[in-house]
Amino acid sequence: AQTVTQSQPEMSVQEAETVTLSCTYDTSESDYYLFWYKQPPSRQMILVIRQEAYKQQNATENRFSVNFQKAAKSFSLKISDSQLGDAAMYFCAYRSGVTSGSRLTFGEGTQLTVNP
Amino acid sequence: EADIYQTPRYLVIGTGKKITLECSQTMGHDKMYWYQQDPGMELHLIHYSYGVNSTEKGDLSSESTVSRIRTEHFPLTLESARPSHTSQYLCASSDPGRGKSQETQYFGPGTRLLVL
């Protein structure tokens, strides 16, 4: 079974600065997808960024980028120019590309605080 | 934000009561999911459905049941609520998009359940 680990329960960053959230995963599969989701307080969970394991290039979405290290099974999220609206719980998630279905396995989450 | 809705948003109920948490989506997604999330914790999949009349149990054992009579509707029922059922319940649906690599899960706002 796959597992996802986020070793930082809480992180904080100053507004306009850069922060990196860590995520590691364990799998024996070679085909899979990785995601970062954001859950603001009392608001819906939304997808921030995704990475296909077969792609070597790191995904980027505006101020959000990932550092995908397949051999190390590491998938960190970098938020540049942090904004107050980035404050949220961030979840790393894994989806198999081998087994049928679209089930996600989530990490424990990292609570990000953005200080003005 | 995606068109996926959950009602009620908050529910306080006594032990032994039967409750149904509603989830509906207007996107025509075949795949739908229920997750349970304790405060500040990761999400655990408790039920999923890949289409009408198809339901499966997820990774976390749950005393709840689900049904999928219509594509857009995926209600979750607890026949006899207990304090141990106190949690947040998140519904999601997924869109195959342009292929498995583009499939995205969209989340509802959640139902916070408190059983006294």
Mean pLDDT of chain B: 91
> Among partner residues A52, A101, A108, which is closest to B42 by beta-carbon distance?
A108
User: CB of B100 within 8 Å of any CB in chain A?
Assistant: yes
Measured CA to CA, the distance from residue A16 to residue B105 in angstroms comes to 30
What 3-state DSSP class applies to A84?
helix
Q: Do B31 and A33 touch (CB under 8 A)?
A: no
The reported pLDDT for the residue numbered A97 is 82
> Among partner residues A103, A107, A108, which is closest to B48 by beta-carbon distance?
A103
The reported pLDDT for the residue numbered A17 is 97
The torsion of the CA quartet A63, A68, A72, A75, rounded to 10 degrees, works out to 50
Predicted confidence band at B1 (pLDDT cuts at 50, 70, 90)?
low
- What DSSP assignment string belongs to A80-94? -S--GGG-EEEEEEE
> Among partner residues A95, A97, A109, which is closest to B42 by beta-carbon distance?
A109
Measured CA to CA, the distance from residue A105 to residue B34 in angstroms comes to 13
The reported pLDDT for the residue numbered A99 is 67
Distances in whole angstroms, Cα of residue A52 to Cα of each of A35, A46, B21: 9, 18, 34
User: How far does A94 lie from chain B, in Å, by closest CA?
Assistant: 12
A102-113 residue pLDDT tens: 789 999 999 999
Q: Which residues of chain A have pLDDT under 50?
A: none
The reported pLDDT for the residue numbered A81 is 97
User: How far does B19 lie from chain A, in Å, by closest CA?
Assistant: 22
The reported pLDDT for the residue numbered B60 is 85
pLDDT at B101 over 80: no
B57-99 residue pLDDT tens: 988 888 899 999 999 999 999 999 999 999 999 999 997 766 6
Question: Strands A110-115, A10-14: parallel, antiparallel or unpaired by DSSP?
Answer: parallel
The reported pLDDT for the residue numbered B2 is 61
